[in-house]
Structure 1
Amino acid sequence: MYSKILIRYGELTLKGENKKDFINFLKEDLMLRIPKNEIKMEYDRAFIDYSAKNLDSLKYVFGISSYSCAYELENNLETIKSKVIDIANNKNFSSFAIDSRRHNKNFSMNSNELNIFFGDAVLESFPNKKVDLKNPDLKIYVEIRDKKTYVFTDYIFALGGMPMASSGKVLHLISGGIDSPVAAYLMQKRGLKVSFINFITPPHTDKKTTDKVDKIIESITKYQMNATLYQINYTKIMNYIGLVSNQKYKITLMRRSFYRIATKLANKFKIFALSTGESLAQVASQTLESLYTIGEVTDLPVFRPLISFDKNETIKIAQTIGTFSLSIEKACETCELFAPKNPVTKPSRKEAKKLEEELSDLYNLENEIVDEVVIKEYKIINL
């Protein structure tokens, strides 16, 4: 039976003097999922106790490149050799290779000598097998560290990216569509702790629609264990914008309003960036002119991780993270309800500002609904 799971840090190894801080962020994430006494962090590796639950937990952890189920042994040459032969005895193979790493520079053999020593031991026990360094059927890894040695045969590739919250916080405009959940996941991958803002328009937005958004957020939250949703009742403003003289601009004005409201909330809760699921040229509100006109209203950076993605690329990620089946459920989305028959595709800032001047109460209404925001908390107890 394996005794440990050996974890490799990936990108964290490039962080120089800041590396320790990023390792601490990773440890904090692991501690939300795994008992503290089962975690050991080192400069270039982490080790946790082996269990099926701990192994499954690592599927949702950003900041690690790969991990391996390993045997933890004393730094004794004969003990390690015995385990290497035992592993070979339980595998079906014709060719093999040994990959040794001597992190403990006081150990009696260097890495190349260890490869020869363990390779000879396997050949002596299995004389009909052969060494193949390029494409072996079986590869046995040996890592000799300062206090213990770890022996394993497989690499399990992880999510990569940066540890949860190591890059700060972002407020993400979430909908029930395919794109925005994927964009939130990609923000998490870069080490951002994601909070969400969602606009509802009751009675048009029914319970089925809000339940759908809840399920999507819960699905994404397994990567950061807890999240906050700021839910905005947008009905009054949606109806008000509907009175504007140039109906083609309704979606542009609505999204400008979304950005202003999101910016107010972000400032209130000390969040320094917004993010969205926008992809360039996908719909009328995502042309370059639209992004330029809509983005004018905020002084916060707006992250758009899907900006160059085509729909199939986004769908593939949505299927991988489990949000696709939720996103395609029928629901009453605010943007869809409000969209004019022929929305403007190349809006101008000048025209948008002129139309907003027709709506003299718009900014007051936005301030009002920010004060009336409903805050919902999500917490993952057991994955």
Structure 2
Amino acid sequence: MAMNNRFEVIVRVHEVALKGKNRPVFINALVRNLKQATQNMGVADVITEHLLIRMKLEAEADWDLIRKAISRVPGAVKFSFVRSVAADFDEIASAVNSLVKDSKFETFRITAHRADKRFEWSSREMNVSLGALVEHISGATVDLKNPQLNIHVDILSKNAFVWAGDEEGMGGLPTGTGGKVAVLMSGGIDSPVAAWRMIKRGCEASLIHFHSFPLVEGRSREKAMDIASRLNDFQLKTSLHLVPFAALQQEIILSVPGPLRVVIYRRFMLRIAEKIAKMNNASALVTGESLGQVGSQTLRNMSTVGEVASQTILRPLIGMDKSEIIQQAQTIGTFPISILPDEDCCTLFVPKSPSTKVNNREARIAESELDINRLVDDAIKKSETLEYRLNEKPIQVNNSES
């Protein structure tokens, strides 16, 4: 849809507005992210005014592309495609007239708000006069409870905005305001949702995927790359670390009793992830664990696994049901990728009856014959790192230790 320079997008915030003296930090981060997310889409400028973010559009801006991009930016709660006019009744009436002629409806309401009390018309007078205008133009009737068309008019000191309908944003906090985290990400349903929930809280999430290639086909790696690309739509830049794990698993099998192996696998994953996290200045680790969902996710086993990490471990899905996680995966678009068949390190070399109550002492004894530092360092040296940027192909960089 082509448009002239009297059109804008107004972005509204909620939680960001409650940040007090720190509010400018969050607003500036959101403005920066909106600019980046909508680059080359015809956004001429992004400015702030009275806790609103105004995105001024060029003549050939594509609203459909812009709408899709803004809906993925954390921190934006609602946004609207508006006609921007002077704070003058005749100008406002003309904008309402244009909006009505572009719409099909049988019932409507006017919702006018006069933020600048110096404006000569009260909100009620605006509602009545503009309502009469719309009735005359369209023949539609007023319905204050369930209108087919809700025409909004916001009057500021110099400008007035006229629009119909709001778009839902992602909410949360702007990316970059919550610090850096490292996410242990499988190719399954849960961990991508955990990553997304941390991104929504303003974190920059690096992704760490453990795979068994070349002992099995590389589909697990491919899925991880596809999921990373999808998550990058929300945070605009993403690092994906691909860590080979099969050789380490084979050494564990030689010395660790079968029932303890899953916990030992996960302890090593956590050690490797923490070292990569520190290399990348991440302050916490994130997992997709949900209490009781599988045998390794009992309280006892999670405690035993977590013992090896000095960093905070965040588990954003811990109290969620599987159906809730699936619904969120469908919403963010990772579900179709996650359900593709693959064979990863979580299914390779898994014993028939893994223990659900491994304590710290048992785990330490089981690991006593293993050269922990060597195994961790070898896995990191052989890892690959891919860097994702918006609308660009991923770039492979030096391994995580460089």
Partner residue, 2:384: 374
Give the 3 Å change call, closer, same or farther, for CA 95–209 of structure 1 in structure 2. closer
Q: TM-score, normalised by structure 1?
A: 0.93
Alignment of 1:12-27 (within 5 A): 12-27=16-31
SS in 1 for 2:113: strand
User: Residues 72-92 of structure 1: CA distance to partner in whole angstroms, max 9, x if unpaired?
Assistant: 111111111222234334444
Cα distance in 2 for residues equivalent to 1:272 and 1:34: 29
Matched, 1:172 2:183: yes
Counterpart residue identity of residue 292, structure 1? S
Task: Indicate the structure whose relative CO is greater, using CA pairs within 8 Å and at least 6 residues apart.
Answer: 1
Partner residue, 1:263: 274
Structure 1 residue 332: Cα displacement: 1.6
Partner residue, 2:78: 66
Which of residues 12, 22, 37 in structure 2 aligns to 1:33?
37
Alignment of 1:248-327 (within 5 A): 248-327=259-338
Counterpart residue identity of residue 304, structure 1? R
Alignment of 1:1-383 (within 5 A): 1=3, 3-35=7-39, 37-48=44-55, 49=57, 51-52=62-63, 53-123=65-135, 125=136, 129-359=140-370, 361-381=371-391
Counterpart residue identity of residue 344, structure 1? S
Structure 1 residue 112: Cα displacement: 3.0
Structure 1 residue 182: Cα displacement: 1.4
SS in 1 for 2:34: helix
Q: TM-score, normalised by structure 2?
A: 0.89
Question: Retained in 1: the 8 A contact 2:256–2:367?
Answer: no
Structure 1 residue 59: Cα displacement: 2.4
Structure 1 residue 135: Cα displacement: 2.3
SS in 2 for 1:41: strand
> Which stretch of the first structure deviates more once superposed, 229-238 or 217-226?
229-238
Structure 1 residue 30: Cα displacement: 1.2
Cα distance in 2 for residues equivalent to 1:129 and 1:379: 48
Counterpart residue identity of residue 44, structure 1? L
Counterpart residue identity of residue 48, structure 2? M
Give the 3 Å change call, closer, same or farther, for CA 77–365 of structure 1 in structure 2. same
Counterpart residue identity of residue 87, structure 2? N
Question: Retained in 2: the 8 A contact 1:244–1:250?
Answer: no
Give the 3 Å change call, closer, same or farther, for CA 89–367 of structure 1 in structure 2. closer
> Which stretch of the first structure deviates more once superposed, 34-43 or 142-151?
34-43
Structure 1 residue 128: Cα displacement: 5.5
Question: Retained in 1: the 8 A contact 2:37–2:73?
Answer: no
Cα distance in 2 for residues equivalent to 1:134 and 1:299: 55
Question: Retained in 1: the 8 A contact 2:71–2:168?
Answer: no
User: Residues 166-211 of structure 1: CA distance to partner in whole angstroms, max 9, x if unpaired?
Assistant: 1111100111111111111111111111101111223224333211
Give the 3 Å change call, closer, same or farther, for CA 147–366 of structure 1 in structure 2. same
SS in 2 for 1:222: helix
Cα distance in 1 for residues equivalent to 2:21 and 2:30: 16
Unaligned 5+ segments in structure 1 are none
RMSD value, Cα? 2.1
Question: Retained in 2: the 8 A contact 1:93–1:137?
Answer: yes
Counterpart residue identity of residue 265, structure 2? M
User: Residues 231-250 of structure 1: CA distance to partner in whole angstroms, max 9, x if unpaired?
Assistant: 22223321111122421000
Question: Retained in 1: the 8 A contact 2:38–2:70?
Answer: no
> Which stretch of the first structure deviates more once superposed, 57-66 or 104-113?
104-113
Structure 1 residue 37: Cα displacement: 3.5
Question: Retained in 2: the 8 A contact 1:144–1:150?
Answer: yes
Give the 3 Å change call, closer, same or farther, for CA 330–93 of structure 1 in structure 2. closer
Give the 3 Å change call, closer, same or farther, for CA 279–78 of structure 1 in structure 2. same
Matched positions, count: 381
Cα distance in 1 for residues equivalent to 2:239 and 2:102: 49
Question: Retained in 1: the 8 A contact 2:86–2:158?
Answer: yes
Unaligned 5+ segments in structure 2 are 394-402
Cα distance in 2 for residues equivalent to 1:382 and 1:81: 44
SS in 2 for 1:151: strand
Give the 3 Å change call, closer, same or farther, for CA 243–137 of structure 1 in structure 2. same
Identity of aligned residues (%): 34
SS in 2 for 1:195: strand
Cα distance in 2 for residues equivalent to 1:139 and 1:269: 48
Structure 1 residue 345: Cα displacement: 0.7
> Which stretch of the first structure deviates more once superposed, 364-373 or 174-183?
364-373
Question: Retained in 2: the 8 A contact 1:162–1:189?
Answer: yes
Partner residue, 2:398: none
Structure 1 residue 295: Cα displacement: 1.0
> Which stretch of the first structure deviates more once superposed, 194-203 or 278-287?
194-203
SS in 1 for 2:71: helix
